[in-house]
Amino acid sequence: MNRQTSTVRNHRILIVDDDDVLRRWLRNQLEPRGFEVWEESQGDEALSAYERNGPWYFVLSDLYFYRGEKIKNGLGLVHAITVITPAQPMAIHTGERDFQAPVPVLIKPYPIGRLLRLLREPLQSLALPFG
């Protein structure tokens, strides 16, 4: 599944999660703030979208997916994207409290402000205004 909306192209965010409700909530929170949100439900689809359309402003991935042949989980996706674009800003969100990763981790449920703080970092490094 892929959903693209038209907003600021420089602020494209790829959200990867098999939870349709969570993806919709994130889209509804981010689009009014000027982000262009793309959605994928599985790692294989996300990697394909990344290869076709990357690099992205930010990639947010769930830790676990229900299915996947090449990309089995969020860590696999982080690794695959890092091979393509080593400096790609990314984060993983998960319900596991003691999880550690080579990228920032958001523990579900989290307030949107936590994600927005992560999104400010790439914006600040590019000296762009945050909307």
Assigned architecture for domain 8-125:
3-Layer(aba) Sandwich (3.40)
Read off the pTM.
0.85
| Domain extent listing, the chain | 8-125
User: Which residues are CB-contacts of 10 (< 8 A; sequence separation ≥ 6)?
Assistant: 57, 128
Q: What is the pLDDT of residues 16-29, one digit of tens each?
A: 999 999 999 999 99
Give the whole-angstrom CA distance, residue 75 versus residue 104: 12
Q: What is the pLDDT of residues 10-65, one digit of tens each?
A: 799 999 999 999 999 999 999 999 999 999 999 999 999 999 998 999 999 999 98
Q: What is the pLDDT of residues 77-90, one digit of tens each?
A: 999 999 999 999 99
